[in-house]
Structure 1
Amino acid sequence: MLELKKGLDILSEVGGVKTLSEAEAIFKKNLDAQNLAKLERIKNEEARLKIANAIAMCEPDYVFIDTGSQEDVDTIRKWSLEWGEEEPLALPRHTVHFDLPQDQARLVKQTFYIVNEGEKTSALARSIPRQEALEYVQKYMKGIMKGMTMMIGFFDRGPVGAQAAIPAIEISSSSYVLHSAELLYRNCYEQFDAEVARKGIFFTNVHSQGPNRPEDVPNARIFMDRSWFTTFSTFCTYAGNTLLLKKGNHRFAVDYSTYYKVEEELSEHMFITGVKGPGGRVTYFAGAAPSGCGKTTTAMAGDEFIGDDLAQMWIEKDGTLRAVNPEKGIFGIVEDVNWEGDPHLMKVLRHEGAEVIWSNVLIDEHKKPFWTGCGEELPERGRNFQGEWWKGKTDENGKPVPPSHPNARVTLLCEAIENHNTKLAEDPSGVPVKVITYSGRDSDTMPPIWVARTPDEGVVIGASIVSAATATEIGVTGVRRQPWANEPFIPGPLGDYMEAQFRFFNSKKFSEKGRPIIAGLNYFLTHEARGGKGKGLLGEKRDVKVWLGWLELFANGDVEAIETPIGYIPKYEDLKKLFKERIDKEYPYELYEMHFSLYIDNILARINLQREAYGKDQGIPKRLFEVYDEQEKALLALKEKFGPVVKPEQLAQG
């Protein structure tokens, strides 16, 4: 059990501010009259102490309170250009930010949970004792903002008033970080005190890039104090390490739902999107996929896009599953975004109208951005994340330097996307979710789509995600297990999180029609793995519209399915019709057979991989292993009857 406010509060210890009268003295000394007046709006005593301690610790030359007003946001944008954190591009309100070459993705090996003695964390996470973290913060964060401006913003992770929304304070010396926060999160300065009173908690984030030099990056750290809901980040600018409202606070939200909102709320690494069905019906999906595995593309393939990355969910009083996007914007990977696969996003990126922050892409002499996989002719020369670039450029090891970093990003408002349902996305009552999906990068084992027969089997689908390592994580290689695609963001033991999942999806609070179906998705099967030639994918990007379309029909009882030991799979005639209707594509039976035949030995090997890995963890619910055993027994019986490859028509026979 996670115990809040346990152990030394590092921010308070290093800042040294213990009382409100001391805090007031800090404010009067460090804030001018205008910003002092703005801060007076924030009455919450704990928040004021947090802010005072951050000022006392970091020792900035100037403190700026961001109220979210147009004037304040314009000031932050202006500073970002003046300070060189962003540069203007050819299109109006488009800018580019470059992170240091050593700081292009999440610094996984430099990210730690601060823990108390005897406190357990996920076996897949890194932790640091509280005393060691205190020593680091005292050494590196004391005075880190000397000569700089501290910007303080008040945001909500979700629409103001939504049951699962959590308020947070973002403190940074980087104008790029605050500019990004204004695009990605809802400034709730006016409602901050009320939101804290409603939710009972808030998160605090303190960041400074320091001198922003390559030699400082080895000393960069991202600390998350689970007990005090406070993050610390130093010597880096990549938003995944510094915009701590995002994945830093997502970790806290996971902790909070796991230990304090069991069978009430979930905090997931999921997109939210709506898919239209017959008669104009819209069915809402929430789907998990590890970073870099097509989650944004899947989200935007829906007819009513709500969010591409995170979801705060709860069981409503009417027995339905509800979800809100804690963000109002996108911080999305741009590699392979092109007109063919992502027309809605490309309209924003290539036409005037929206505000966009680009990061780590290629900029040509005309100040136009390009990136790997954009589907357009690349310029001969330009500037990118490593400086000057030209076609054929290689690094010191002779390896080609790509035009853009694989983790290059764009930051923009969701409402700029043509198929975004902004009205629903901003509704604090959330959208009713009827389908949960889990996917990774799986080249040879699972079919493109399958639906769990029970909530327990659904939880096991989420627990069993695997994926190739992506460019979002520095220092990580190979194929990895990615439980729920949330694994990097689960602070506590996986057994605790898994138990919360079993309890949530089996909850009696769901109405008969309110309980969602849970499915697996896999876009990455190859011809080679299914008896074909070449290593290319069996499908293409646009096929996702068909898979989502079938799930929409199944969730509403409009189509039947073939039952298998791993779950329900589609019938051929239904898919053939959907391929034609949704993407005007023929779907031969031979391809269906390659997609949906069960390769028994591969699935058994996957089960054994997961069983062995989870067997090393303590506290894993026994129900996980029971489901694996049940599936293994049924798969072996199929193999005995039909052989190692079982075709759909054989599966239909039972």
Structure 2
Amino acid sequence: MERGTLHKLTKYPNTYICRTDPRDVARVESRTVVCSVDRYATECHTKDGAASQLAHWISPENMDAAMQERFPGCMAGRMMYVIPFSMGPIGSPLSKIGVELTDSNYVVLCMRLMTRVSHDIWRVLGNNEFVRCLHSVGCPRPVNYRVVNHWSCNPEKVIIAHMPDDRMVVSYGSGYGGNSLLGKKCFALRIAGRIAYDEGWMAEHMLIMSVTNPKGVEKFFVAAFPSACGKTNLAMIQPTLPGYTVRCVGDDIAWMRFNKDGQLMAINPENGFFGVAPGTNHQTNPNAMAALQRDCILTNVAETADGGYFWEGLEDEVDKDIPITTWLGKPYKIGSKENYPSSHPNSRFTAPAKNCPIMHPKWEDPAGVPISGIIFGGRRPEGVPLVIEAEDWKHGVFLGAQVKSEATAAAEFKGKQIMHDPMAMRPFLGYNFGKYLQHWLDMEKPGRKMPKIFHVNWFRKDQNEKFLWPGFGENIRVLDWMMRRVDGEDIAEPTAVGLVPKEGSINTDGLNINWKELFSIPPDYWKSDIHETRRYLEEQVGDDIPPVLRSELDRVEARVDAMK
């Protein structure tokens, strides 16, 4: 606060607003690299030398040169902080330890929210392996340029580098959360993914939730969606059907391993939520809003004159006449004709998970929670049914590998193009994607209780660009169908692309739903889609496509081509 980086929001206890340099507002995927001696330990053997979209390799020599160019003297005149943290409950056999060095006090505060920062880490650490995390905003003092919004950064020199062999992350130039809170995507997905590959478990970009039906039966699900596809909303939904209860275990990352009884167990390695603010309100996600009422840091949102926060989506919850200051310091009024938003599209809330009123009592259980189903999904405006069930584990891995979605504001991409995001892990892979797919296939072993795998699409539209499904709390109806499928109910029928609900098997009471359109599988669309999926996998994964998955692709493509 003394330096102007944070400003207190007087309307809420212990809550602060932060505005970054407008050049430092999102993950920088083009500057995010993985270092390995063998290029193909990181990247796949892409076809015809195509640029890899699934991981960006940097050689050890180029890595050393990049570090030497940036790090010597980079913290001069600044405070260096040493942050010991645990991903997962401290001392859990499923948890991992990290230590981050940083010269950003914003990072210190956010790491205290997002991870378990404690002196107890040193006791647990002992001689155990830990992930080394080094971060600098790249602005030694005294600075000889104008610092915007009291936010130090060095956008021209940004690099976020991972060394999986050394269990190390090095980040320079950006203070934005996805680039600087190194326990999050960098450790919990890219480095942990490689550790999971070596040790035989799974580190995934997935929420963890439980659903309890009116009979008191509870089942846990994990779900992988690309950014801005409703992952946090699903993790915290308020069911519209009476008698159902949803509890949140985590909204973004799941670490999973099979126990000695063959049951897949999952923990949330994080301690808080780092969610997209715009679109979050008491209608779309009341539980997230409850978590924001105290002890939070809000980044790149607008501020109301009475010391509150504002962003797109809160128009009906804030006094229409109250003066508002945008994230760029401009005046703003609800309903006025300004052609600029109040908040950055990727503005964020950082809040402690314990603030969420529906956190599961076992959300910090060191043993984890038992997973019955895995859900993939994306923002697909046309062609893709509301829900598809995989025929078996192999087909489920294939469904995950062909996930696509509209691009979002979480990275530097612009526009609404449909992008491949296999397993919702495209930006978060720490090793060769072909090996990653094989690792998924290798999870299926005799004696293991393999979860069912589903694919959902809440975002299909009709010819008038209207959503065919209401989403949000109504998604409990699809989760109920999944629970019944996990229990073996005969409520699914085969199609060329997988199992879909038998007509009427999802409770749509009170909804105006066009069932046939919502679950239609247009042959021309799917023929084009499966051929495009093959093109993508052949180009991006090439010879590294596991043979079993190649056979699955051939099988599904043949069935789709035979559709009338």
Q: Secondary structure of the residue that 2:506 maps to in structure 1? A: helix
- Higher RCO (CA < 8 A, seq sep 6+): 2
Question: Does the CA contact (< 8 Å) of 1:527 and 1:536 recur in 2?
Answer: yes
| CA–CA distance in structure 1, aligned partners of residues 465 and 381 of structure 2 | 12
Match of 1:236 among 174, 194, 213: 174
Residues 392-444 of structure 1 show CA distances to partners (whole Å, capped at 9, x for unaligned) of: 999xxx992211111111111112111111x3111110000001000111111
8 Å CA contact 1:108–1:475 kept in 2: the answer is no
C-alpha deviations, 1:65-111, integer Å up to 9, x for none? xxxxxxxxxxxxxxxx2333211102111111112101110011222
Q: Does 1:418 align with 2:360?
A: no
* Kept after mapping to 1: 8 A contact 2:99/2:131: yes
TM-score, normalised via structure 1 length: 0.77
The answer to whether the aligner puts 1:207 opposite 2:135 as a matched pair is yes
Cα deviation, residue 242, structure 1: 0.4
Match of 2:547 among 603, 607, 622: 622
Aligned residue among 373, 397, 407 for 1:469 = 407
Measured in 1, the distance between the counterparts of 2:326 and 2:160 equals 25
Q: What's the offset of the Cα at 1:118?
A: 4.5
CA distance in 1, matches of 2:427, 2:202: 16
| Contact 2:326 2:332 (C-alpha < 8 Å) held by counterparts | no
What amino acid maps onto 2:511 in structure 1?
E
**Residue 479 of structure 2: aligned partner:** 548
Bigger Cα Rg: 1
1:329 and 2:265 are equivalent in the alignment? no
**1:379–1:103 CA distance, 2 compared to 1 (3 A):** farther
Confirm or deny that 1:129 pairs with 2:49: no
Rounded to whole Å, the distance in 2 between the matches of 1:462 and 1:534 is 26
The aligned counterpart of 2:184 is 246
List alignment gaps of at least 5 residues for structure 2. Answer: 44-51, 140-145, 238-244
1:138 maps to: 68
- For the 8 Å contact 2:91–2:124, the answer to whether it is kept is no
After TM superposition, list the pairs within 5 Å mapping 1:12-27 onto structure 2. none
Aligned partners of 1:558, 1:483: CA distance in 2, in Å?
A: 29
My pick for the range that moved more, 265-274 or 616-625, is: 616-625
- C-alpha separation in 2, matches of 1:368 and 1:399: 21
Of the three residues 387, 390, 396, the one matched with 2:332 is 390
Partner of residue 23, structure 2: 102
- Give the residue type in structure 2 aligned to 1:371: W
Residue 356 in 1 paired to residue 296 in 2? yes
- How far apart are 1:202 and its partner, in Å? 1.4
Shift of 1:571: 2.5
Counterpart-to-counterpart distance in 2, 1:271 and 1:221: 28
CA distance in structure 1 between the partners assigned to 2:321 and 2:27 by the alignment? 29
Q: In 1, Cα distance between the equivalents of 2:107 and 2:268?
A: 20
1:589-637 Cα distance to aligned partner (Å, 9 max, x none): xx11111121122122211111111112231112222222222333344
Counterpart CA distance in 1 for 2:285 and 2:264 is 29
Please show how residues 162-561 of structure 1 align to structure 2 within 5 Å. 162-195=92-125, 197=127, 200-211=128-139, 213=147, 216-249=154-187, 250-258=189-197, 260-261=198-199, 264-301=200-237, 303-349=246-292, 351=293, 354-376=294-316, 377=318, 381-391=323-333, 400-421=339-360, 423-475=361-413, 477=415, 478-504=417-443, 506-510=444-448, 514-528=449-463, 533-558=464-489, 560-561=491-492
Which letter maps to 1:435?
Answer: G
Q: Are the structure 2 counterparts of residues 592 and 618 from structure 1 closer, same or farther at C-alpha, using a change threshold of 3 Å? A: same
Q: Matched residues in 1 for 2:560 and 2:300: separation?
A: 47
2:83 and 2:101 in contact (8 A); partners too: yes
Once the two structures are superposed, the pairs formed by residues 35-74 of structure 1 within 5 Å of their partners are: none
Amino acid at match of 1:203: V
8 Å contact kept, 1:469–1:480 = yes
Residue 278 of structure 1 deviates from its aligned partner by 4.0
- Aligned Cα root-mean-square deviation (Å): 2.3
Distance 1:636 1:618 in 2: 24
Tell me the CA shift for residue 455 of structure 1.
0.3
Cα distance, 1:276 vs. partner?
A: 1.0
Summarize deviations over 1:361-388 as a string: whole Å, max 9, x none: 0012222110011242456643333222
- Equivalent position amino acid for 1:364 in 2: T
Distance in structure 2 (CA, Å) of the matches to 1:240 and 1:233: 10
Picking from 528, 542, 552, the partner of 1:605 is: 528
Among 565, 571, 574, which residue is 2:505 paired with? 574
Residue in 2 that maps onto 1:28: none
Sequence identity percentage: 27
Q: Residue by residue, what CA displacement relative to the aligned partner does 1:104-139 show, whole Å, maximum 9, x if unpaired? A: 100112222223254542332222222222223223
Deviations for 1:569-595, whole angstroms, at most 9, x for unmatched residues?
Answer: 12233313xx44xxxx3354xx11111
3-state SS of 2:236 partner: helix
Conservation of the 8 A alpha-carbon contact between 1:251 and 1:490: yes
Aligned mates of 1:236, 1:638 — CA distance in 2: 50
Matched, 1:593 2:532: no
CA distance in 2, matches of 1:265, 1:120: 18
Cα distance in 1 for partners of 2:535, 2:480 equals 35
Shift, 1:140, TM fit: 2.0
Paired letter, 1:621: P
Aligned to 2:3: 83
SS at match of 1:323: strand
| Structure 2 CA distance for aligned equivalents of residues 234 and 387 of structure 1 | 27
Give the gaps of 5 or more residues in structure 1.
Answer: 1-80, 640-654
User: Could you state the TM-score of these two structures normalised by the residue count of structure 2?
Assistant: 0.89
Mapped contact 1:526–1:537 kept (Cα < 8 A):
yes
Q: CA deviation at 1:391?
A: 4.7
Query: How far, CA to CA, are the matches of 1:300 and 1:196 in structure 2?
Result: 37
- Please tell me whether the aligned partners of residues 113 and 225 of structure 1 are also in contact (alpha carbons under 8 angstroms): yes
Give distance in 2, aligned partners of 1:388 and 1:493. Answer: 45
Instruction: Give CA deviations for 1:312-341 in whole Å, capped at 9, x if unaligned.
Output: 000011110000001021001111111112
Contact 2:315 2:334 in 1 (8 A): no
- Separation (CA, whole Å) in 1 of partners of 2:162 and 2:557: 39
In structure 1, how many angstroms separate the alpha carbons of the residues matched to 2:193 and 2:300? 30
Q: Deviations over 1:226-249 (max 9, x none)?
A: 221221222221111100110111
Give distance in 2, aligned partners of 1:118 and 1:268. Answer: 23
Answer with 298-307 or 629-638: which moved more. Answer: 629-638
**Structure 2 equivalent of residue 114 of structure 1:** 35
Provide the secondary structure at the position in 2 that maps to 1:630: helix
Amino acid at match of 2:181: L
In structure 2, do the counterparts of structure 1 residues 117 and 341 end up closer, same or farther at CA, with 3 Å as the change threshold? closer
Q: Please give the secondary structure, in 2, of the residue aligned with 1:552.
A: helix
Equivalents in 1 of 2:224, 2:421: separation in Å? 10
Between 1:563-572 and 1:429-438, the stretch displaced more is 563-572
Deviation at 1:162, TM superposition (A): 3.0
Instruction: Please identify, of 209-218 and 172-181, the stretch whose mean Cα deviation from structure 2 is larger.
Output: 209-218
Which one-letter code corresponds to 1:322 in the other structure?
M
Contact between 1:450 and 1:519, CA under 8 Å: does it hold in 2? yes
